[in-house]
Amino acid sequence: MPRTKQQFEEIRLKSQKRILDAALEVFAKQGYHLATVDAIAKTAGVSKGLMYNYFKSKEELLHELMIGMMENMMAEFLPIKPGEKLTKKIVTQMINEGIDLVLENPKYWKMYFSVFVQPDVMNMIMDKIMEMLQPYFKALTNYFEEKGEKDPVAMTRYFSAVMDGIQLHCMIDPKTFPAEKVKKILIKQFA
């Protein structure tokens, strides 16, 4: 008797998750190009072949991973519902969380950032991610508008850039970067 559809589905999901987790770990430690499919499979405790059952290439594995991370991050980073407005409190929280997230797992974020900087290959991802970020940009633009900023669109881009810069430095040097002080500066300036 074969397993039921549902049983198979469960098995599939479980294996996929193991592979994605392993990929995250290995990509984070070695970077995309130095990470071998072999190492990922070994880390996941599955065969290489299985990987290719679920992801049609190493690149697709990265894509899926990035999209997944992005979705998770968005959920934590921008905890508002569509249409809801940003408040000072929420922006404060975004700043704090955005920095803490990186400090907790600098390796993962290195991988994440590195993609933005890879030439060619990753353009597909960029589009997808930009699309996902739209509501976040909109909400911020709204927020800055209500705060009375003259050019809320520019301010939003400025804020995003600043946050990315901070996160970048947290990643590079999590030990000596004065995260707490910088948080305060940011909150004072933007929230």
Partner DNA sequence: TATGAATGAGGATTCATTCAT
Partner DNA sequence: AATGAATGAATCCTCATTCAT
Residue in the structure block whose two tokens are 């969380």: 97
User: The tokens of 33 are what?
Assistant: 């190009």
Site string for a copy of itself, 1-20 (x = CB under 8 A): -x------------------
- 3-state per-residue secondary structure call for the chain: CCCCHHHHHHHHHHHHHHHHHHHHHHHHHHCCCCCCHHHHHHHHCCCHHHHHHHCCCHHHHHHHHHHHHHHHHHHHHCCCCCCCCCCHHHHHHHHHHHHHHHHHCHHHHHHHHHHHHCCCCCHHHHHHHHHHHHHHHHHHHHHHHHCCCCCHHHHHHHHHHHHHHHHHHHHHCCCCCCHHHHHHHHHHHHC
CB of 109 to DNA, least distance (A): 22
64 residue type, one letter? E
Q: How many residues bind DNA (CB under 7 A)?
A: 26
User: The tokens of 130 are what?
Assistant: 């930009």
Among 2, 83, 119, 148, binds DNA (CB under 7 A): 2
> Applying CB under 7 A, which part among 57-65, 74-82, 99-107, 133-141 lies near DNA?
57-65
- Can residue 114 be called a binding residue for DNA (CB under 7 A)? no
Give the residue with the Cβ less far from a copy of itself, 84 or 189. 189
- Can residue 92 be called a binding residue for a copy of itself (CB under 8 A)? no
- Can residue 17 be called a binding residue for DNA (CB under 7 A)? no
Among 11, 13, 124, 153, binds a copy of itself (CB under 8 A): 153
For a copy of itself, the binding residues (CB under 8 A) are: 2, 28-31, 33-34, 47, 107, 110-111, 113-114, 116-121, 126, 151, 153-155, 157-158, 160-166, 168-169, 171-172, 177-178, 181-182, 185, 189
For DNA, the binding residues (CB under 7 A) are: 1-3, 5, 7-8, 11-12, 14-15, 34-38, 46-50, 52-53, 56-59
